[in-house]
């Protein structure tokens, strides 16, 4: 069974930086597009960033210029470098990946459990 595990969250002061990781494990053939989402307390889940299988990134307006998404296909891992963090960035960050289990199978969406990012003075 496929698992996505996020790591790298923690407590930082405004203006600080964190690097989140999302690693895929288990038995699968390949990983397609990957997205980062976040959900703050008492707020709806928000899309943050995405990266295609070819490495093309896209970002929500709220994080453009501050966050950078990347992927390491050899390690089946994606990263979210977060710079100049703001209190509004406080949320549980989760990765969502399209994964092909077998070579002839369609892509299927998987979610990680999330990692908490707290930005506070």
Give me the sheet containing 18-25, strands edge to edge.
3-7, 18-25, 77-82, 67-72
| Residue 1: per-residue pLDDT | 80
Task: Give the span between the Cα atoms of 82 and 15, in whole angstroms.
Answer: 10
With a cut of 50, list the residues of the chain below it in pLDDT. none
Cβ count near 49 (within 10 Å): 24
Are 30 and 52 in contact by the 8 Å Cβ rule? The answer is: no
């Amino acid at each position: 069974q496929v698992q996505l595990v996020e790591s790298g969250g923690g407590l930082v002061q405004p203006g600080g930086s964190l690097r989140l990781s999302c690693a895929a494990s288990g038995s699968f053939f390949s990983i397609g597009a990957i997205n980062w989402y976040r959900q703050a307390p008492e707020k709806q889940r928000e899309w943050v960033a995405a990266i295609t299988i070819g490495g093309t990134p896209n970002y929500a307006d709220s994080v453009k210029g501050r966050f950078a998404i990347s992927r390491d296909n050899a390690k089946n891992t994606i990263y979210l470098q977060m710079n100049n963090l703001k209190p509004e960035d406080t949320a549980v960050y989760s990765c969502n990946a399209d994964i092909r289990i077998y070579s002839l199978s369609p892509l299927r969406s998987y979610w990680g459990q999330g990692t908490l990012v707290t930005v506070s003075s």
